[in-house]
Structure formats: structure tokens, C-alpha cells
């Protein structure tokens, strides 16, 4: 954001002008969904669930057909109760949103005013900063050496005007994670006035015992919010539903600005059903656990550098400059073969592509296409 631009006289302008900073925001770029010449490309560009969604969730979604004329429950009570029971949380401390994206936006809006700053990692998920800039706050990017969040670097960015820290664990687009001991160390070093948001969108895919999504800290801390989504493990990205677990005071403050009907009846019902479908969740995790190491090993064999230790349903693939083939060229080549992956250049990772772990034939198609590309 151009902080130094002279203030505009918006009242004297010949047309309505957005408030300062808005037009400097880079709009969110979603993963590509189309490949020319392919009616159904292999879409590995948005970290969706390769297995689709739970049949139980689909049936619940269909049941909403009879209720299209009715406003949804503004408290989202059925999913509130289900999440509270499943994770042993106090229902009144839950915030539901149109995806966890909306929970981030609500937190930014609640805590940031012009002159404040938000701190995140260098490769932090784009939605964090978009929401902070919209509040005319400064965004501070802490270096992530080795593509990993570094607590000391985050702390170096914090000052008296820091109101919020966003930390996706595991991260997107890096796929890396930090242990709970580091999260605790970060929390202990923060003033109690700073909100620490732990985004667990991919937390379910992290199987190492040293991983913890932070709920155990959030239960007792007065400044920690943990978010989760139904878009990834549960495969409900289209329905836009996510949640946050916050201290009661934060949940109550957020509730004052939340749009009253921000999650739909279909989303609430499908999310309850998805949460109860443990078979689907298990199958989704197994798919990732089988193919993540396979992809890592195969891509490594092509002289590509898979960023180590992905704890997510995707891998971040580096194209070494010495290989003479760039990530941008690879993205175009893969699309010509009907395989869509995600460029990471907007995160400053020009030499990397991010690929979602797909079904067996999709993963094999990705590796074959990349092998052909590297041979060229
Ligand atoms: C790190 C991270 N957090 C949050 C989200 C947003 O998820 P939702 O679909 O719940 O808005 C994503 C989506 O890709 C993500 O990658």
C-alpha cells in the first residue's frame, strides 16, 4: 500500500473515490479452473478435496431444497452445537463465517484501525492481508527462512501498534508447520492486547504428534483465536462455511458486525452431516497420506525441489534455476496437458508451483506431464 501518497480531497473529486489504500490491494487470485481444450481438466490448483464430499453431507444439502424461502438461523445453532460437542468447546465462543475467510475479515474489522499493524509470515495466506489493508492498517511480513514460520522473526515485527497476528499452521502455500512448543513461545512473548489467530485450515492433515492446532491454548488464553474450515478435509468449499473459537469477549465483539445470515441453511446442515461422517474424513486423510510421500519422491526424482515436510493436502514444488526450466513455463505446459496447478508468484515464490494431492490417476498424470516437461 502506498502509505506516503498525499491525502486526496475526496469531497472535491469528480467521482466517488474509494478510501485510501483500497485500490492498492491486489485482488485475491483463485486457483485456475479452466484449461483450453479440456472439458474436465485435472484441477490441482485450489487444494480442494479430491474425493469430493461426504454422501451424508450431499443428502443434507439436498434436504435444504424445501427451505429456500426461509432465512437461515443467524446463530447457526445446529452446527454450533455439533462443533462444540465434537471438539469439547463452549458453544457461545464459536464464530461461524462464510468460509474461514470471513472469520479473518471479521477479526481484522474488529481490531484494526488506521495506524495499527497486522503481523504475518512472509508467505502468509493472501486473505489475511487483504482484510487488514481494507481496514487501512499496515501489514508487516516476517521472513520465513526455509519456507517456515519463524517465531523470532514474527516477534521482531511486533510493536505497540500491533493488534493482530495471523499464523496459518500448517501454512499455505508452503505446506510447512511449526510445533506447538513454538506457538506457546510466541504466545508467551506477546502482550495480552495482541490477538493471535491460528488458522488451522489444513490442521487435520498434519499427523505429527508435535502438531497441535492451538485449541488447547485457546481454551484458556484471553487473546487466542483458532479457525477451521469445512472446505478442505470435509470437501464443502462450495458451501462456504468455516468457524473460529475465540475468547467469549472477542466472539461477542465480532458478533456485533457479523452479517446476521452469513451461513446458509444448506451449509449449516451439510456441515453437521460432514462432521459426523468419519468414514469420509478417514478416506480423505488416507488419500493424502498415501500420495503425499509418493508425489514428493517422484517429483524429487525429476530434479524438482519439493518443499520439505508438507503437512497439508498439497505440495509446493520448486524449479531450481539451474534446471533451465521455469515454474511459469511448467504451469503453461501442464495446462496444455489438462493439468491445472497454482502459481505461487503472488507470494513472491516465482520459482514454485503448488499442486493439490489428487486421486491416483491425477497424481500420475501430474508426474508424467512434469517428466515430459523436464525432458524438453
Ligand atoms: C491457509 C488457508 N486458510 C484459510 C483458507 C480459507 O478457507 P475457507 O474456504 O474456509 O474460506 C484457505 C483456503 O484456501 C487457506 O489456504
The answer on 351 and 210 residing in a single domain is no
Is 4 domain-assigned? no
The proportion of the chain whose per-residue pLDDT surpasses 70, expressed as a percent, equals 98
201 alpha carbon to ligand 1 midpoint, in Å?
6
Is 5 domain-assigned? no
The answer on 295 and 217 residing in a single domain is no
20 burial via Cβ count (<10 Å: 0-12, 13-18, 19+): middle
Distant-in-sequence, close-in-space partners of 82: CB < 8 Å, separation ≥ 6:
271, 272, 275, 276
Which residue, chain included where needed, has cell 508425489?
295
pLDDT value for 376: 84
pLDDT value for 5: 61
Q: With 60 as the cut, is the pLDDT of residue 357 above it?
A: yes
- Look up residue 247 and give its DSSP letter: -
> Is 201 a pocket residue for ligand 1 (Cβ < 6 Å)?
yes
Q: With 80 as the cut, is the pLDDT of residue 250 above it?
A: yes
Domain that residue 188 falls in:
55-277
The answer on 303 and 269 residing in a single domain is no
What pLDDT, in 10s, does the model give residues 162-191?
A: 999 999 999 999 999 999 999 999 999 999
pLDDT value for 166: 98
CATH number at 240 reads 3.40.640.10
**Pocket residue to mutate for ligand 1, from 97, 121, 172, most atoms within 8 A of Cβ:** 172
The answer on 231 and 102 residing in a single domain is yes
Instruction: Provide the CA 362 distance to its chain's centre, in angstroms.
Output: 23
Q: With 90 as the cut, is the pLDDT of residue 283 above it?
A: yes
Calculate the dihedral angle through the C-alpha atoms of 79, 81, 87, 90, rounding to the nearest 10 degrees.
130
The answer on 155 and 96 residing in a single domain is yes
CATH number at 339 reads 3.90.1150.10
Q: With 50 as the cut, is the pLDDT of residue 1 above it?
A: no
12 alpha carbon to ligand 1 midpoint, in Å?
40
> Is 108 a pocket residue for ligand 1 (Cβ < 6 Å)?
no
Is 124 domain-assigned? yes
Last residue of a domain, one of 277, 294, 310: 277
What whole-number distance in Å separates Cα of residue 239 and Cα of residue 278?
19
What pLDDT, in 10s, does the model give residues 82-95?
A: 999 999 999 999 99
The answer on 285 and 179 residing in a single domain is no
Last residue of a domain, one of 253, 277, 301: 277
> Is 168 a pocket residue for ligand 1 (Cβ < 6 Å)?
yes
The answer on 68 and 29 residing in a single domain is no
What pLDDT, in 10s, does the model give residues 28-58?
A: 888 899 999 999 999 999 999 999 999 999 9
100 alpha carbon to ligand 1 midpoint, in Å?
6
Q: Are 44 and 366 in contact (CB under 8 A)?
A: yes
The answer on 201 and 95 residing in a single domain is yes
Distant-in-sequence, close-in-space partners of 51: CB < 8 Å, separation ≥ 6:
235, 280, 283, 284, 287, 359
Domain count for the chain, please give it: 2
Q: Please tell me the total number of residues recorded for the chain in this structure.
A: 376
Residues 133-158 have a mean pLDDT of 98
Crossing angle (nearest 10°) for helices 55-63 and 265-276: 150
Is 2 domain-assigned? no
Structural element, H or E, at residue 180: helix 180-189
At residue 132, the 3 state secondary structure works out as helix
The answer on 336 and 292 residing in a single domain is yes
The answer on 176 and 118 residing in a single domain is yes
Q: With 50 as the cut, is the pLDDT of residue 231 above it?
A: yes
User: Who has greater pLDDT, 13 or 7?
Assistant: 13
Ligand 1 nearest atom to the CA of residue 102, by list position: 11
Question: For the chain, what is the mean pLDDT?
Answer: 96
Is 1 domain-assigned? no
What pLDDT, in 10s, does the model give residues 286-334?
A: 999 999 999 999 999 999 999 988 999 999 999 998 778 899 999 999 9
Q: Are 288 and 282 in contact (CB under 8 A)?
A: no
Last residue of a domain, one of 243, 277, 311: 277
229 alpha carbon to ligand 1 midpoint, in Å?
7
- Look up residue 82 and give its DSSP letter: H
pLDDT value for 4: 57
Is 34 domain-assigned? yes
The answer on 162 and 311 residing in a single domain is no
What pLDDT, in 10s, does the model give residues 63-113?
A: 999 999 999 999 999 999 999 999 999 999 999 999 999 999 999 999 999
The answer on 156 and 105 residing in a single domain is yes
Distant-in-sequence, close-in-space partners of 98: CB < 8 Å, separation ≥ 6:
240, 241, 242, 262, 263
Amino acid at each position: 500500500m502506498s502509505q506516503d501518497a498525499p491525502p486526496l480531497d475526496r469531497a472535491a473529486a469528480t467521482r466517488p473515490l474509494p478510501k485510501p489504500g483500497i485500490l492498492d490491494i491486489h485482488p485475491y487470485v483463485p486457483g485456475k479452473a479452466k484449461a483450453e481444450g479440456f472439458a474436465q481438466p485435472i484441477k490441482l490448483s485450489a487444494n480442494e478435496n479430491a474425493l469430493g464430499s461426504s454422501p451424508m453431507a450431499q443428502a443434507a444439502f439436498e434436504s435444504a431444497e424445501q427451505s429456500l424461502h426461509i432465512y437461515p438461523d443467524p446463530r447457526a445453532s445446529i452446527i454450533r452445537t455439533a462443533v462444540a460437542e465434537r471438539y469439547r468447546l463452549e458453544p457461545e465462543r464459536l464464530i461461524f463465517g462464510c468460509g474461514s475467510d470471513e472469520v479473518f475479515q471479521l477479526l481484522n474489522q474488529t481490531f484494526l484501525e488506521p495506524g495499527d499493524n497486522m503481523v504475518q509470515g512472509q508467505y502468509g495466506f493472501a486473505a489475511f492481508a487483504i482484510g487488514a489493508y481494507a481496514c487501512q492498517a499496515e501489514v508487516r511480513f516476517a521472513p520465513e527462512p526455509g519456507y517456515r514460520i519463524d517465531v523470532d522473526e514474527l516477534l521482531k515485527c511486533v510493536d505497540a501498534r500491533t493488534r493482530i497476528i495471523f499464523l496459518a499452521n500448517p501454512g499455505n502455500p508452503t505446506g510447512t508447520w511449526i510445533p506447538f512448543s513454538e506457538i506457546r513461545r510466541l504466545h508467551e512473548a506477546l502482550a495480552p492486547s495482541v490477538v493471535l489467530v491460528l488458522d488451522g485450515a489444513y490442521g487435520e492433515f498434519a499427523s505429527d504428534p508435535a502438531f497441535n492446532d492451538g485449541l488447547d491454548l485457546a481454551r484458556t488464553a484471553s487473546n487466542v483465536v483458532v479457525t477451521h474450515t469445512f472446505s478442505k478435509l470435509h470437501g464443502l468449499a462450495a458451501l462456504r462455511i468455516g468457524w473460529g473459537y475465540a475468547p467469549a469477549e472477542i466472539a461477542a465483539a465480532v458478533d456485533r458486525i457479523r452479517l446476521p445470515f452469513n451461513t446458509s441453511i444448506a451449509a449449516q446442515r451439510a456441515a453437521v452431516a460432514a462432521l459426523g461422517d468419519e468414514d469420509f474424513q478417514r478416506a480423505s486423510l488416507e488419500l493424502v497420506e498415501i500420495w503425499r510421500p509418493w508425489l514428493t519422491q517422484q517429483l524429487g526424482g525429476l530434479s524438482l525441489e519439493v518443499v520439505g515436510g508438507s503437512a497439508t493436502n498439497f505440495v509446493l514444488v520448486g524449479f531450481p534455476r539451474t534446471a533451465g526450466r521455469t515454474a511459469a513455463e511448467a504451469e503453461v505446459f501442464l495446462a496444455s496437458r489438462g493439468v491445472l496447478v497454482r502459481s505461487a508468484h503472488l507470494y513472491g515464490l516465482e520459482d514454485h508451483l503448488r499442486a493439490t494431492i489428487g486421486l491416483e490417476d491425477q497424481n500420475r498424470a501430474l508426474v508424467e506431464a512434469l517428466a515430459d516437461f523436464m525432458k524438453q
